Amino acid sequence: MLHGKKVLLGITGSIAAYKSAHLVRLFVKAGAEVRVVMTEAATEFVTPLTLSTLSKNPVLSSFTNDETGNSVWNNHVELGLWADLFVVAPASSNTLSKMASGQCDNLLTATYASAKCPVFFAPAMDLDMHAHPANGANISALQSFGNHLIPSEVGELASGLSGEGRMAEPENIIQFIEETLRAGLPLSGKRVLINGGPTYEAIDAVRFIGNHSTGKMAIGLAKAALELGAQVHLILGPTSQNLNRSGLTLERVVSTDEMHEAVMKALPKADIIILSAAVSDYKPAEVLTRKQKKSESNWSIALVPTVDILSDVGQKRTSGQFLTGFALETNNEEEYAQSKLEKKKLDLIVLNSLRDSGAGFGHDTNKVILFDRNKNRTELPLMSKDEVAVRIFEKINELHA
């Protein structure tokens, strides 16, 4: 949810400001671009140098910058328009009061008043200050404006008292923001099961049968599902591709049997299933435990069919589960794809042709045709696999409303 987002972090004068360095680090680790704006009081608790080093951006704390000897205006309007998210953490009682009443006597509150993006605030103050009716009224006012309260936590406070008023821990702030962002998305609450990449079938101790699939299409599909708010279970065959995102469970397998077992185990919890893996259709009838030595004579290997994962899922899925398969063909492409759609009981099939330049294994681009259960045909131009993934989910959302 935070990958690629522009996050403006506002830090106010609270002892909890020491946690802001960790919060910046977590935003950056999640793939966000972070800029920091501080009140003058906040600089007494954590240094701008620390935060600029972690965020890799200058830290702003006043309306003008005089470091060069020439006053340069720090444009609060541009800051507010730049951000995808404005997070005020910690939010002191003083700053909450200014935000609620519209006071703009510092760069942070002026930027807040100019922000067009979602605003999150995490109060941090001592027990009695937090419980004061005026503070409660300010929090309520900010929520009525559409701002998101990240609730304070209970624990030991700087005064030595124990109770509500601690700023939420940085990890909890990240989780709260991601869950809030995810809640309004089309696939919020949905579980998506995707498989991808090749499978390898062992011949002997060192050799295998495989194919040239890289898993790039599956990675694109997983990213698209996550951006739409889904929880994703991605099962990848042997490939160098990797993805590490909140909301993603990544499981790695090697053989078709292992892929089948992993898919069938995850199937009952899935709402949407997309089987894009290029699984091996055959495997050796017998696997040698040692390496077969080279000789002058021919070496024949008896092959037997592997389990048909797509057919098995088509037979065993429930009526509420949406199933998408892939077809990679070299001739009579559309005929074979439509036959596969019917035979394997799919809702949607994605056809790739190895005859299309820039499509198929190894490329960052793909050119596909979508056939759905309603006999509709949608041909897409050559585009990146990430873009193809987005278009596939547009079709799934259209059919799986």
- Residues annotated in a binding site for CTP: 281, 291, 326, 340, 344
For residue 221, report the phi and psi dihedrals to the nearest 5 degrees.
-65, -40
Q: Which of 211, 331, 374, 397 is catalytic?
A: 211
Beta-strand relationship, 348-353 and 322-329: parallel
Binding site, by residue number, is 281, 291, 326, 340, 344
Print the SS3 string covering the chain: CCCCCEEEEEECCCHHHHHHHHHHHHHHHCCCEEEEEECCHHHHCCCHHHHHHHHCCCEECCCEECCCCCCEECCHHHHHHHCCEEEEEEECHHHHHHHHHCCCCCHHHHHHHHCCCCEEEEECCCHHHHHCHHHHHHHHHHHHCCCEECCCEEEECCCCCEEEEECCCHHHHHHHHHHHHHHCCCCCCCEEEEEECECCEECCCCCEECCCCCCHHHHHHHHHHHHCCCEEEEEECCCCCCCCCCCEEEEECCCHHHHHHHHHHHHHHCCEEEECCECCCEEECCCCCCCCCCCCCCCCCCEEECCCHHHHHHHHCCCCCEEEEEEEECCCHHHHHHHHHHHCCCCEEEEEECCCCCCCCCCCEECEEEEECCCCEEECCCEEHHHHHHHHHHHHHHHCC
Q: Say whether 211 is catalytic.
A: yes
Residues 6+ apart with CB under 8 A from 273: 192, 193, 194, 267, 313, 317, 321, 322, 323, 324
Nearest CA-CA partner of 26 in 245, 174, 181, 176: 174
Catalytic (active-site) positions = 211
